[in-house]
Structure 1
Amino acid sequence: MARRQQREVQNEGQLSGTAATSLLRSLSRARGSSAIIAIAGVVALVLGIAMLLLSGDLGGTAYTTLSVSGVLLLLALLISFNTVVQSITGRRGRYGVNTGIMIVSLVVLVGLVDTIAVRNTWDYDTTATKQFSLADQTVDILKDLPEPVEAIAFFDPKNIEQLQISQDVEDLLAEFARRSSRFEYTIVDPDLDPTTAKRYGIRQYPTVAFVGTESERLHQVVSRFQERDFATALLIATGVERKTLYVLTGHGEREASDFEPGSAGFGFAVEGLSGDNYGLTTLSLLENPNIPENAAAIIIAGPTKELEDAESEELQRYLEDGGRAIVLLDPNPPESFIQLLGKWGVLVNDGLLLDMGSYVANQEQTPLITRDQYFNVIPSITEDLEESFLPGSTGFDYPGLHNLPGFETSFDPEKDPIPETISYTPIAGTTLLSCSNPDLDSPICDRFGGSQLPALAFVGIAPLNKEPDPDASQQTAVVLFGDSDFASNKYFYSRGNSDLFLNSVNWLTEDISLSAARPKPRAFRLLVLTRPEMRFVQYSSWLLLPLGVLLLGGIAWWRRR
């Protein structure tokens, strides 16, 4: 009996030893494949994380892949447990663990910084003219939106010419959206989504439609996609009242309905004013003898015929009642307009204004107004304005011009005192090498009489020799230009001409919010070097960099030898 029990115990020991031996042999065989299992686990881990980050629709598959990766990595750890422990506890292993901890810490730190940066965006415009910054007035409009506004930009992605425009528009719309939680935008391909294009009445591309989501007011921006155009669209879409301007007709003025590029028409100026949220209507004082009460300002663009007595009286009455007007004359204008301005103390000089010190190349009869020739007394008109030019201009004179050094005036300071009811403000002047030539075809100055004023503004409460009207609702304000060509279709969008005209109207109507949102000039700065500085840059690029590399190499060799 005892022998039988002893044999059974021996048999059981042999069986258990055989099982353990088999397990050890299986683990030994599996050790060769543990690296493959670990690599498969790492690949599955990367795939799972990628699916989570790149596609939210693959969430279930991503979690399954991550689970499989965990099982594979755990299995690889169990198979090569001793090897892993030895690798970790050894000298090289400790270095590796430390390195791994540092890498993980760095990744976590970068992730935290990135998360904070994404949730708290901040930018700084380093360009000289703040090319990529919104004007303060635009930011105020966005902050005070009375209702949510949606912008839908329609661009054809297959049109190469529209690609760059669409990117610029999207950047600008993104900046608008960043500034206001009540503004959002979408980019639509009208060929892929014709229903949306039809809904907003889109007939040409590119077009950006601005819609007030509550009132459903719609305004489309076509062809010009500047900050000013979008700011105006916001005002229209949210129901801000449009001021009405009246363009005087019937005296040979420039045609407001002429939009032909390069023509002498006034259509581009009308288009620009419409873009500033103004309503424009032509006005004939022969048909309608009274200037409408809702007139924000009257525009007189290049008259060539005389005013009738009744028309002149109505214009004078309008100005005395606190009216606003922008008057664009040309050399030797009709006498009735000269007399109208004379009642406010302004004298229109005879002949053609020539400036031999600053004119457009090969065009001596076109004075060039550079930035330092603007008087920044009215910043909303001239601040940050590009140079402009006035093809065929005349000049103005007024009592008190003698207070400006170097300016020619026909008024005697003692006999012609400055009126107490009128304040004059020069806008732009010419250089000292200027004159008025009676011969409109001559580009030569017989003598230089001093600087002259081709642009002037004045504000008054009463004309000369009259008492102020106590019933006037506001002060009279007039902007004068001695040239109307600069606002014609031919020259309107040249240099700063359009901004000079539009800013003047904005100032007249006390609506300067959009003047600061005009396109900013691109600053082009040259690096000017003297000859020694140029030689230093040249030789340092040839010698300093190679010598620096040799020096660093020598230091490294010295430390390792």
Structure 2
Amino acid sequence: LSIVVLRSPSTDPTSADWRADLLLEQYKRINKYINVEYINPIEKPSAKSKYQMTQVGEIVFTYGQGKQVRVYRKDLTTQSKVTSDPLFIGEEKFTQSIYTLLDSESFVIYFTVGHGERQLQDRGGEGLSYVKTYLENENYKVKDLNIILENIPTDASLIVIAAPIENFSDFEIEKLNNYVKTGGKLLVLYDSFLDRSRFNSNLGIFLSDWGFKTKNDYIIDTASSVVIPVNIVPQYTSHPITQTLKEGNVFACLVVARSILSGENIYNGSFENIITTTPQGYSKEEATFDLSRARFNPRTDISGPVPLAISGTYEIEGRKDPARIVVFGDATFILNAYINPEQGQSVDIAFAGNKDLFMNTVAYLLEARQKITIRPKEASIKNLTLTTTQTNFIRYIAQIGLPCLFGILGILIWFFRRR
């Protein structure tokens, strides 16, 4: 991989160029197959035509026989929504460039529309415009898909159904069935009925055939929650999607989730839990406005740990790669207000892990294992949000534990001095 920087090395520590130089130096140090070269086009005018330069400061990534991607100086920064200061996003741009050069195939991700789903074009707190940007930054192509009006395209690498509130027609369900049966990949994200709507029955029957069971319930977990007991900080399993997040202690937060269970299916699928509640968590069917008084009902509720997201894998005869379906019991965690800490500053539960949890799920479904990682985070103002258990622990230590400790020490000192 050849990286040519069309300027001299920067000597200004406050500039984006200087930070880009540091980053490129790290790349070169870590991988001996990465070559970084600086060419000043003023000193070497021939570089302008050789690299087809349009702006001073361009960074040209070249791989193989002339395959190139360019990063411009203006692409290295964006404006912080918190402080209005420029934020350096060079690592994200460089990573996108390398993915573009190295990816042997182009993945196309379709988001269904026509059933009240969350919208990719919506830039408000309830939209998915950040998700679209994140996917495109990792070289995925992102498009809308109206299954009523068109067949599922042959280039569909993944179909995402994000929080539908209207039923899918039998005609659409048949198309989805045929897609998965031929080795397709499907990601379904449900909102809780407390948040938007009742369970989509037609889609529920479809998922039941593939081994997923859902209920019109919501999750309460006082041992691992923030703000209120239905804002769940999930427990990671050892699934490939969550392994790096678990090792890096990067936490996500599901805003109002429902349970997702696995069971018998007609396609011989194998299932793995991705995230769960703690053993103290449980699912509840009875809606209540006083969550502090909610109690587990063994007749209708599911005791913890309750699965909140499950992956299903299906071997398809005649195909090398298996079909895969992942179902989440929450869609709100990928909305703009909750997936981006800056956008969600007024909400206080925009966890850094929300983005990684979603992006790792996409990478897992597409078998793009190199993209299952913890992504670079921007320096910004963030609030520290503690779970109820953590808050109580700190309170007991500060209000009871420390005073008692110093009291005991004082008594011991007094006693030994008297002796």
Larger Rg: 1
Q: 1:297 aligns with which of 133, 138, 158?
A: 158
Deviates more, 1:500-509 or 1:166-175: 166-175
SS in 2 for 1:389: coil
* Alpha carbons 2:10, 2:18 under 8 Å: kept: no
Name the CA distance, whole Å, in 2 between partners of 1:188 and 1:306.
60
- 2:116 aligned counterpart, secondary structure: coil
Aligned to 2:131: 269
Which amino acid counterpart does residue 354 of structure 1 have in structure 2? I
1:486 CA displacement: 0.5
The structure in which a higher percent of residues are helix is 1
Equivalent residues in 2 for 1:52-451, closer than 5 Å: 145=1, 148-151=2-5, 163=14, 165-178=16-29, 179-186=31-38, 209-212=59-62, 215=66, 217-220=68-71, 221-222=75-76, 223=78, 225=89, 227=91, 229-237=93-101, 240-260=104-124, 263-288=125-150, 290-331=151-192, 332-360=198-226, 362-369=227-234, 373-378=235-240, 382-384=245-247, 386-399=250-263, 421-431=268-278, 432-439=280-287, 441=289, 443-444=291-292, 445-447=294-296, 449-451=302-304
State the alpha-carbon separation in 2 of the partners of residues 238 and 342 from structure 1: 38
Per-residue CA shift, 1:200-235, capped at 9, x if unaligned? 5669xxx97443275263243554636454233123
Paired with 1:155 and 1:299, the residues of 2 have a C-alpha distance of 44
SS at match of 1:163: coil
Letter in 1 for 2:286: P
Change (3 A) 1:349 1:225: same
Question: Structure 1 379/216 Cα, relative in aligned 2: closer, same or farther at 3 Å?
Answer: closer
Give 1:363's aligned amino acid: I
TM-score, L = length of structure 1: 0.54
Q: Indicate how the Cα distance of structure 1 residues 380 and 363 shifts in structure 2: closer, same or farther if over 3 A, else same.
A: closer
How far did residue 430 of structure 1 move?
0.6
Residues 353 and 238 from structure 1, CA distance in 2 versus in 1: closer, same or farther, beyond 3 angstroms? Answer: closer
Q: 2: distance between equivalents of 1:503 and 1:271? A: 15
**What is the alpha-carbon distance in structure 1 between the residues aligned to residue 166 and residue 10 of structure 2?**
49
Cα distance change of structure 1 residues 246 and 327 upon mapping to structure 2, 3 Å threshold: same
* Counterpart residue number, 1:92: none
Gaps of 5+ in 2: 79-87, 193-197, 341-350, 385-401, 410-419
Deviations 1:376-403 (A, max 9, x none): 132665443511111111111123xxxx
Aligned partner of residue 491 in structure 1, secondary structure: helix
Equivalent pairs, count: 340
1:514 partner amino acid: K
Partner of 1:453: 307
Q: Distance in 2 between matches of 1:154 and 1:333?
A: 59
TM-score (norm 2): 0.70
Instruction: Kindly state the Cα deviation for residue 492 of structure 1 after the two structures are TM-superposed.
Output: 0.8
Measure how far apart 1:495 and its partner are.
2.1
Residue 347 (structure 2) aligns with: none
2:172 match: secondary structure? helix
Distance 2:328 2:319 in 1: 26
Deviation at 1:185, TM superposition (A): 5.0
Provide closer, same or farther for how the CA distance between residues 483 and 151 of structure 1 changes in structure 2, counting only shifts above 3 A: farther
Change over 3 Å in CA distance of 1:442–1:217 after alignment to 2: farther
